[in-house]
Amino acid sequence: MPNRVAVIQSNYIPWAGYFAVMAAVDVFVVYECVQYTKNDWRNRNQIQSDDGTPTWLTIPVRHLNLEQAFMDTRIASGNWAMKHYNTLRHHFSRKPGWRARDAEILALYEQARNMDFLHEVNRLFMDWAIEATGIQSKVVYLSAYPEHPSPTARLISILKDFDTRHYLSGPAAKDYLDPRAFDAAGIELEYVNYDELIPKFLTGPKPAGNTSIMQLILEGNYEFRCD
């Protein structure tokens, strides 16, 4: 029986907190069978220059309607990939992490520019970041799941399928999750405290909020602890 499970939507090269949660659980479910949300983290993330100026890395997608599923979301063009690579090279070419990983980053973006769907790209970079950070948790990409009467009921059904009794959730979910439903299902509901969790996962300078894990890897002055 998995001791702890987390279920979080797919993002493009997410921030350190995303991976800290992943490292803290036994099973991490990338929740892909959801509606695509525009102007969100699904297709974009950011890095920061040494002076704190943010730069967005955005994958252009075809957003056809409000009900569009994440799994059906197509990339608008392949030109974005080399733009992202060149942006990263501009920011990090003098950093030790970049010098160690330049060739593999280029190979990632050359592969990504030939992909048609956003979820394919997100998986590609997610798998790369998991390997780069050394996370050992089991990661499951959940691309399809039956509908339920409410989001909480659907989530609890997913957790029961993984036979867990402990769910680790992001703090924003306090606004819509019903803790009584988790009590009734016999599942302990825990909300993560990122200020406490990230230092357990990461040693090095305090990362800027919402900065992509890509930045931390390419700077090369962080150590990831995943035991």
Q: What is the pLDDT of residue 73?
A: 98
Tokens of residue 143, six digits: 């691309």
**Confidence band (pLDDT; 50, 70, 90) for 1?**
low
Cα separation of the two ends of the chain: 19
Q: What is the pLDDT of residue 207?
A: 84
- Name, in order, each residue with C-beta under 8 angstroms of 2's C-beta and a sequence gap of 6 or more: 25, 26, 27, 138, 162, 163, 164
**Confidence band (pLDDT; 50, 70, 90) for 135?**
very high
Q: How far apart are CA 220 and CA 98, in angstroms?
A: 7
Over residues 28-34, the mean pLDDT reads 98
- Cα three-residue angle 197-40-9, rounded to 5 degrees: 55
Q: What is the pLDDT of residues 77-130, one digit of tens each?
A: 889 999 999 999 999 999 999 999 999 999 999 999 999 999 999 999 999 999
Give all strands (DSSP E) within 22-165, no chain letters. 27-31, 44-48, 54-58, 138-142
pLDDT at 202 over 70: yes
Q: How far apart are CA 109 and CA 152, in angstroms?
A: 36
Kindly report the number of other CB atoms within 10 A of residue 150's CB atom.
12
Q: What is the pLDDT of residues 148-201, one digit of tens each?
A: 989 899 999 999 999 999 999 999 999 989 999 999 999 999 999 999 999 999
Share of the chain above pLDDT 90, in %: 88
Strands 27-31 and 138-142, sheet pairing:
parallel
Q: What is the pLDDT of residue 52?
A: 84
Tokens of residue 164, six digits: 């867990």
Q: What is the pLDDT of residue 49?
A: 87
pLDDT at 22 over 80: yes
Q: What is the pLDDT of residue 95?
A: 93
Q: What is the pLDDT of residue 124?
A: 98
Q: What is the pLDDT of residue 2?
A: 75
Share of the chain above pLDDT 70, in %: 100
The four Cα atoms 92, 9, 109, 22 give a dihedral, to 10 degrees, of 60
Q: What is 102-125 written as a DSSP string?
A: HHHHHHHHHHHTT--BHHHHHHHH
**Confidence band (pLDDT; 50, 70, 90) for 36?**
very high
